[in-house]
Amino acid sequence: MQVTPWKVEGAIDYNKLVKEFGTKLIDKALLKRIEKYSKLNPMLRRGFVFSHRDLDLVLNDYSSGEGFFLYTGRAPSGPMHIGHLMPFYITKWFQDAFKVNLYIQIPDEEKFLAKKELTLEEVDKWVIDNILDIIAVGFDPDRTFIFQDREYIKGLYTIACRIAKKVNISTAKAVFGFNNESNIGIMFYPIMQNVPTFFEKKRGLIPSAIDQDPYWRIQRDIAEGMGYFKTAAVHCRFLPPLTGIEGKMSTSESDTAIYLHDSQEDVRKKIMKYAFSGGQATIEEHRKKGGNPEIDVSFQWLSIFFEEDDTKLKKIHDDYKSGKMLTSELKAILVNKINDFLRDHARKKADAVKLIKQFKYDGKLAKKMWDFEKNNL
């Protein structure tokens, strides 16, 4: 197993990652505390969001009136798939529940620096498309600032210099596995991803999948020495690819990912052909022995995101397990759910075109962030 911000390989053992990364599992007591503020969404309730750093302190800060802010991001390199949206829906839940500021970084240099063949022109083709997908999630335009690194660089670079001076090469090598062949651009990039954690003198909470956690380790080493808070984080698992629950849905494997632009027919074909099934080889055998929902990708996707209703989910689980429900029936339920979701998403994405200026420049928070003098930059 290997999990870094740029590479996820092998069967992922999430408990082992928590130990290796030094994060904490989100336990029942912590969920109970969060639930006081708003009804938990399925991703929180069913353990897809499984690990954290200092979420308890974030809740303390909120209840003492000190408050906190949210930060997350997306590095464009191509179209977004459904997995990429998961951290954004988690972030939206937190913004809705706590009514706090949210910074969304669009590092339009990261993947260019990380991937040998990728050009900046190719990255730039996807920037606006990805931003529209993100706006479609439904953030508060006055409490959210979306910025591209190469465009907002003046607001980032002063803080970046301050951080960069505190991080030496051996730390960067140890955390990210850089070597003598790594280009110096990608070695500097982690500084850029840390900058937004210094946007406010409050604790930041960062929702992302667990692959992004290495960045926060650097931040947490240096922040207090600079008079800021160690950042907090919540980590989700990876939405698995269609081919099996142990991996990560990835842009480079187009048959096993569902893209936000996939047609209804694409979705149906991909699920029917590729979604790994926990069912038996023949209908007779399935009726007799039943299926295994724990390893069935269609069931897992319903459980992670697509079936919010606990009673309905339990019925699907029980019927599938007993053999009453066939794999083809389970898959049909998922196909309908995904297609409903994508239809709705496409409508919201079309509406997002007229909101983009507000999120990037004119909304309350965006305006404040572009006022460099006020921000002492």
From CA 128, how far away is CA 134, in angstroms rounded?
A: 10
From CA 261, how far away is CA 137, in angstroms rounded?
A: 15
With contacts defined by CB under 6 A, how many residues of the chain interact with ligand TYM?
Answer: 24
- Count the neighbouring beta carbons within 10 Å of the beta carbon of residue 73: 23
Taking the least distance from each CB to ligand TYM, the nearer of 126 and 320 is 126
Least distance (Å) between residue 98 CB and ligand TYM: 17
75 near ligand TYM, rule: CB under 6 A: yes
Helix residue ranges, H only, the chain:
14-21, 28-35, 42-45, 55-63, 82-98, 110-114, 120-135, 153-164, 169-176, 184-194, 213-222, 264-274, 283-289, 297-301, 310-322, 327-352, 356-357, 364-370
From CA 274, how far away is CA 262, in angstroms rounded?
A: 15
Least distance (Å) between residue 297 CB and ligand TYM: 12
Taking the least distance from each CB to ligand TYM, the nearer of 208 and 280 is 208
Residue 148 phi/psi, 5° resolution? -95, 135
Residue whose C-alpha is closest to residue 257's, from 295, 313, 296, 297: 297
Taking the least distance from each CB to ligand TYM, the nearer of 77 and 339 is 77
Task: Please give the single-letter amino acid code of residue 85.
Answer: L
From CA 318, how far away is CA 88, in angstroms rounded?
A: 31
Report strand pairing: 49-53 vs 2-4. unpaired
Query: Which span (66-74, 175-183, 265-273, 354-362) binds ligand TYM, by CB under 6 A?
Result: 66-74
For the segment 200-259, give every residue that binds ligand TYM (CB under 6 A): 206, 208-209, 211-212, 236, 238-239, 248-249
83 near ligand TYM, rule: CB under 6 A: yes
For the segment 176-205, give every residue that binds ligand TYM (CB under 6 A): 193
335 near ligand TYM, rule: CB under 6 A: no
- Judged by CB under 6 A, the residue of 74, 92, 317, 331 near ligand TYM is 74
Query: Which two tokens mark 96?
Result: 């809705």
Taking the least distance from each CB to ligand TYM, the nearer of 45 and 315 is 45
Query: Which span (27-35, 73-81, 151-159, 337-345) binds ligand TYM, by CB under 6 A?
Result: 73-81
Least distance (Å) between residue 208 CB and ligand TYM: 3
Question: Rounded to 5 degrees, what angle do the CA atoms 342, 344, 348 make?
Answer: 110
Least distance (Å) between residue 280 CB and ligand TYM: 28
For the segment 93-132, give every residue that binds ligand TYM (CB under 6 A): 105, 107, 110
Task: Name the 3-class secondary structure at 316.
Answer: helix
Least distance (Å) between residue 121 CB and ligand TYM: 18
Least distance (Å) between residue 236 CB and ligand TYM: 6
Least distance (Å) between residue 71 CB and ligand TYM: 6
The residues that touch ligand TYM, with contacts defined as CB under 6 A, are 5, 71-75, 83-84, 86-87, 105, 107, 110, 193, 206, 208-209, 211-212, 236, 238-239, 248-249
